[in-house]
Amino acid sequence: MPHAAGVNDADRDAPPRDGPDLDAPDGGGSGSGSGSSSNAREKPIVIDKTKVAGPVDGFPVWIDVTDAQIAARARADGHDIYFTDSQGTVLDREMVSYSSGHLLAWVRVPHLDMTTSVTIYVVYGDVTRANQQNAQAVFAGYAAVWHLDDSLATTAVADATNTYDGTATGLAPTAQVAAKLGGGITFDGTGNQNIAFTSPLTGTGPHTISAWVDQQTTNRISAILTVGTNATDQARFLYGNYGNGGTVGLGLYNDDWAPAGHDLRGAGWKLVEWTYEGTNKKTHLFIDGQEITGSPHAMTGAANTPASTGTIGYAPEPTFGNPTGMVGVLDEVRIATAIRSPGWVATEFANQNSPATFYSVGAEQVAP
C-alpha cells in the first residue's frame, strides 16, 4: 500500500500505515539489522513548499539528520538506510556518511514546487531491502560534481558522476577538513596546490558553475575553478577574490567581470553560482541563492572554450606575477552544461544552508 500522495500544511507527519505495533517485541533494534522484514521502520521527511523558490525537476536534496531512533534500529554502517517517495518507489541516493544516527546523504527528488509540500521517507532496519546507491543518477543533471570529501591519502578526487575524476597535487590528508556539507579541502594560496580534471566545458554553450566557498583574507587572486586557455574569450574562470579589488570575479579571459561590493573575504561560507547563457553573452552571478545587483551582465564577446585541463583551487595564469591559488576552503564544486534557473539556485541554497528548516522529520512508523 503506497503512502498518501503529498501532505497538507496542517498535516506535517504522514499517518502510520497498516502494520505491526511499534511497541511489540520483534527481536530487532539496537542497530542489529537482523534482516527480518518486521524490523523495517521509516520516517517521513516533509519538504516545506515555502522553502522551494520555483518548480525544479530531478533535484538533489541534501539530507542532514541526527536521530536516536534511526541509531537504535539501523545497522552501524548504515547499509540498510534508503529513501522512497510517497508511492513507495525507491529514490536514487548517495550516502555521504552515517555514524550513530547522524545521516548525511544526497537524494534525488523527481519534482518540487511552491504549491505542494512533498513527503519522502527514510527507511531503515532491514538490510535485505536496501538497494544499491546510484550517485550518477542523483546528479544526472550535472557534468561534474566534486564533493571534496576525499581523504587525500592518494591523489584521487572523485567526481560523483564518475566521469571527470580529478587528480590532486600538493594536497596532503591534512588538507581534508570539516566544511559546509561534510568534508572540504583547504588551500594555502601558494599555487602549488590544485585539483586537475578534464574539462567538460567546450565551445560556446551555456554552463552553471557553483561552489561553497570560505574565502579567507588575501589581496591576491584566489581561484575557485578555471578551464580553457589564456586567450581572449577562451577560458571560463571563477575567483573568490579578484585581486586588490576585494570582490568576487569571473570571466572568459580578457573579458572579465568583478562586480564591486561583493567581498567574500572573512564572510564565512558563501554559495557562489555563475550561470552563462551562451552565445547571447549574458552572465548571471548568484551569492547565497540571490542574484546580485547588476546581474545579468553582458560579456564583451561570446565564450569559445577549447578542450582543456581544468583546475580547482588554482588559476594557471602566467602574467599575474604571483600565485593565484585559492586562499581558503572549497566544498561541493559543480559544473553543469545547462543554465540553472533562479528558482533552482535559491532552492539549492535554502536546502544546503539550513537543512533543518528545509524539511521536517516525522514520527517513526512501520515500513510497508
Evaluate whether residue 346 is within a structural domain: no
> Is the same domain home to 110 and 186?
no
Q: Are residues 181 and 134 in the same domain?
A: no
Task: Report yes or no on 345 lying in a domain.
Answer: no
- Fill in the DSSP letter of residue 135: H
d(CA 319, CA 1): 65
Whole-number average pLDDT of the chain: 89
Q: Determine the Cα–Cα distance for residues 50 and 60; give it in Å rounded to an integer.
A: 17
The alpha carbon dihedral of 69, 72, 73, 78 has a sign of positive
In this structure, are 220 and 95 located in the same domain?
A: no
**Residues 193 and 88 reside in one and the same domain:** no
- Look up the CATH number of the domain holding residue 311: 2.60.120.200
245 pLDDT higher than 90: no
Confidence of residue 149 (pLDDT cuts 50, 70, 90): very high
Q: Picking from 3-7, 86-90, 248-252, which range would have the lowest pLDDT averaged per residue? A: 3-7
Name the band, by pLDDT with cuts 50, 70 and 90, for residue 318: low
β-strand partners of 62: 106
Full residue range of the structural domain in which residue 304 is found: 144-337
Is residue 90 located within the same domain as residue 190?
A: no
Same domain, 362 and 272: no
Q: Before 296, cis peptide (omega within 30)? A: yes
In terms of domains, do 256 and 157 share one? yes
Say if 91 falls within a structural domain: yes
Amino acid, res. 20: P
* Average pLDDT for 364-368: 94
Q: Is residue 135's pLDDT more than 80? A: yes
Degrees (nearest 5) of the Cα angle 97, 98, 99? 130
Residue 2 near residue 88, CB atoms below 8 Å: yes
Residue 159 · residue 195 · CB < 8 Å: no
Task: Specify the pairing of strand 309-312 against strand 118-124.
Answer: unpaired
Find out whether 233 and 252 touch, Cβ atoms under 8 Å: yes
pLDDT at 112: 98
> CATH number, domain at 47?
2.60.40
Structure confidence at residue 265 (pLDDT) = 96
Residues 194 and 326 in one domain: yes
Q: Are residues 47 and 86 in the same domain?
A: yes
pLDDT given at position 129: 81
Lowest-confidence pick of 33-42, 109-118, 144-153, 222-231: 33-42
Do 55 and 343 meet the contact criterion of CB atoms below 8 Å apart? yes
Does residue 245 share a domain with residue 154?
yes
The label of the residue with cell 544526472 reads: 140
Domains of the chain: total: 2
The answer on 214 and 105 residing in a single domain is: no
Mean predicted confidence (pLDDT) in 22-39: 41
- Does 201 or 9 have the greater pLDDT score? 201
What average pLDDT does the segment 287-310 reach? Answer: 96
**Each residue of 340-364: pLDDT tens digit?**
999 999 999 999 999 999 999 999 9
Same domain for 195 and 313, yes or no, is: yes
Across 8-25, average pLDDT? 38
Q: Count CB-CB contacts under 10 A for residue 361.
A: 19
Residue bearing cell 512501520: 366
pLDDT of residue 20: 36
Whether 239 maps to a domain, the answer reads: yes
Would residue 278 count as lying in a domain? Answer: yes
- 16 located within any domain: no
**Structural domain contains residue 224:** yes
Q: What pLDDT, on a 0 to 100 scale, did the predictor assign at position 19?
A: 38
Percent of all residues in the chain with a pLDDT value above 90, rounded to a whole number: 83
Taking only the tens place, the pLDDT of each residue in 196-242 is 999 999 999 999 999 999 999 999 899 999 999 989 999 999 999 99
**CA-based nearest residue to 121, from 8, 41, 22, 39:** 41
Q: What is the pTM of this model?
A: 0.90
Query: Per the domain annotation, does 227 fall within a domain?
Result: yes
- The residue with cell 532552492 is 347
pLDDT at 16: 47
- Give the three cell numbers for residue 19: 502494520
pLDDT of 291 higher than 90: yes
